[in-house]
Chain A
Amino acid sequence: MSVVKILILSSVLALAIVFPHIAPYEGLASEVLIFMLFAMAYDLVLGDAGMLSFGHAAFFGLGAYTAGIFLIRVYSSVLLALLGGVIVASIAAFLIGAACIRRRGIYFTMVTLAFAQMFYFIAFKWTGLTGGDDGLQNVPRPDLGPFDLGSELTLYYFILVLVGLSVIVIVRVVNSPFGKTLQALRENRDRAMSIGYDVDRYRLIVFIISGFFSGLAGGCYALLLNFVPLSSLYWTTSGEVVVMTIAGGMGTLFGPALGALGIILLRDIISNYTESWSLFMGLLFMAAVLGFRGGIMGIVRDKLKLPI
């Protein structure tokens, strides 16, 4: 590890530790962390494997609903609830992936969106289990051993640990031979196939890994809000994670996390003044696509000439 890397890493760590104290409120800091994880998980599929999924709300929402329902009905344990959410999200990723991973390009996009919408409809109609339109109310937040997660600050550090561990795993995945193979598949599928890689299997595995971490982010979201909004399964959630990833710079590993940070903070500021957040998000989408396709990381790289 070079000196620069150690410097960057320790300053990021320091910033993460003081972040809840400088953020407008502690819950917002936790929300930023959650969406950073969600965006990084999403970028595994978009940036590294080149698949535009518009169905990631399904994994995020399923993680949130499963964790919430587990805490309310089954057993009062945060870790087991999160584990449940992650498992259900991964199974959903496996099933959706198995059905549509062989579809290329826009077919994949349409089908992921349609399947995610199916989960939305089920949650919307199954009011006995999910609370329907009102969302899942009163998700408890039990203590974790000696830690009182009822405190927003403690919850932040708990989520920080989870997200930190996940980021380490994601970085390992991207830099592993598996990750390199994915990037090869994205760049030139035919060549990778002729070398002998089983393209569909690689794509399915990364889709499941992405669903896994999206589900974890969703579970944390349920804890943070004490509530699961029905909108967590709606296509707007998928759209939001896409714009975070594009704004941050897709395929840049940490770019999507920066995108998530920027967008959550921006949304918080804008929602103080107007209800039209989705208008701003739409304009941001168009600006990002027309103007700065490299995202934040692209600007950092090109303008400041930093070797990231």
Chain B
Amino acid sequence: MTAQFVLMQLFNGLILGSLYVLLALGLSIIFGTLGIINFAHGAFFMLGAYIAYTITTYLMPSFWVALIGVPIAMTLFGATCELFLFRRLYALPPLYIMLLTFGLMLVLQDTVRMIYGSMGVPFRTPGSLTGAVNLGFMYYPTYRLFLIIVTAVCSLGVWLFLSRTKVGAMIRAGTDNSQMVDALGINISRIITLVVALGTGLAGLAGVLAAPIQNVRYLMGMDFLIDCFVVVVIGGMGSIGGSILGGLIVGEIIAVGVMVWPPMAHTLIYLFMAVFLLTRPRGLFGREAFHD
């Protein structure tokens, strides 16, 4: 095992981690405002990849169009889901919205399977991003580097949006106490629509970015989503910083696991989660109030 290989593998962990970050961010802000786990989040991710495939294959063979178009389409889709489905259930215990999103996930997955088949579809790396870049100490595939940069920019953007803008402040306030926000004259239901739309858009973006390097299959989302649960347990639910750090940690654990003992690489993250649950149940940056 050369140093070069180890470094390469650590970078690959960063790639996986970046995708986790994008998904966990959306999962986390939706959780913060609605108090639910969005089971359909993985399906949104998968849908993003398939829409990118459809755009590049049938409409316009440009990855850049997909990269811009898919997040927009998914944002609108998320807003639609919130307005027409989730909204009906706010008066009830959160359990019901979670079950609704579970049903939605099954419907989306199976619809995609019926249209595109269960074997998955091929997705090529965009032409301008093929090849490798010399980083000085090693060569690394251009596309993967691009993915890391896009994720970093987006995470920074989401963080700035939530911490520096007025709307971001409203969202954070809604996370703390949505009734109080409502009483202060802010239209909380519009905020909720915005949050679900934003989270879904991020999941769609993760889907486009993952398409060239992951196996585009109808089941890709749920497996990714369950890993993201581990991310938010480690990072702390409802925390932006926690989602980012947790995502990167989980990505690296899998990458290191693949080097040490490949068959059990994936099991490692669950054991890590168990350790966290027993020693620091609120995660790295989670607030105590969230899980009581």
Contact = CB atoms under 8 A, between A and B. Distances in A.
Interface string A266-292: 000000000010110111111011100
B99 interface: yes
B226 A114 contact: yes
Given A52-B95, A114-B273, A125-B263, A106 B103 contact: no
Contacts of B31: 106
Contacts of B263: 125-126
Nearest to A46: B95
A120 to B, nearest CB: 9
Interface string B29-61: 001000111000000000000000000000000
A113 interface: yes
Interface in A99-142: 99-100, 102-107, 109-111, 113-115, 117-118, 121-122, 125-126
Interface string B220-236: 00100010011011000
Given A52-B95, A106-B98, A115 B270 contact: yes
A122 B99 contact: no
Contacts of B98: 52, 106, 109
Interface string B93-111: 0111011101111111111
29 contacts: A52-B95, A52-B98, A99-B277, A99-B278, A103-B281, A104-B292, A105-B35, A105-B291, A107-B291, A110-B37, A110-B232, A111-B229, A111-B233, A114-B233, A115-B274, A118-B267, A118-B271, A242-B102, A246-B99, A278-B109, A279-B110, A281-B106, A282-B102, A282-B107, A282-B109, A283-B107, A286-B85, A286-B104, A288-B103
Nearest to B275: A99
Given A110-B232, A293-B96, A279 B111 contact: yes
SS class, residues of chain B in contact with chain A:
helix
B89 interface: yes
Contact of B100 (A104, A109, A290): A290
A90 B96 CA distance: 28
A113 B42 CA distance: 14
Contacts of B37: 106, 109-110
Contacts of B273: 111, 114
A259 to B, nearest CB: 13
Nearest to B232: A110
A65 to B, nearest CB: 16
B277 A103 contact: yes
B270 A290 contact: no
B161 to A, nearest CB: 24
B103 A285 contact: yes
Contacts, number: 115
Contacts of A100: 277
Contacts of A113: 226, 229
Contacts of A246: 99
Smallest CB-CB A-B distances: 5 pairs: A285-B103, A282-B106, A279-B110, A282-B107, A118-B270
Interface of A: 52, 99-100, 102-107, 109-111, 113-115, 117-118, 121-122, 125-126, 235, 239, 242-243, 246, 276, 278-279, 281-286, 288-290, 293
B88 interface: yes
B266 interface: yes
A283 B292 contact: no
Contacts of B281: 102-103
On chain B, which size bracket covers the interface? 35 or more
Contacts of B278: 99
Interface of B: 31, 35-37, 85, 88-89, 92, 94-96, 98-100, 102-111, 113-114, 222, 226, 229-230, 232-233, 237, 263-264, 266-267, 270-271, 273-274, 277-278, 281, 291-292
B169 to A, nearest CB: 25
A285 B291 contact: no
Given A109-B37, A111-B233, A279-B111, A289 B103 contact: yes
B179 to A, nearest CB: 18
A286 B111 contact: no
Nearest to B226: A117
A125 B264 contact: yes
A286 to B, nearest CB: 4
B236 to A, nearest CB: 11
A95 to B, nearest CB: 9
A242 B37 CA distance: 16
A276 B110 contact: yes
Nearest to A118: B270
A281 B85 CA distance: 17
Nearest to A52: B95
Contacts of B94: 105-106
A228 B42 CA distance: 27
Given A100-B277, A106-B31, A111-B277, A282 B105 contact: yes
A293 B103 CA distance: 14
B281 to A, nearest CB: 7
Contacts of A115: 270, 274
A115 B100 CA distance: 22
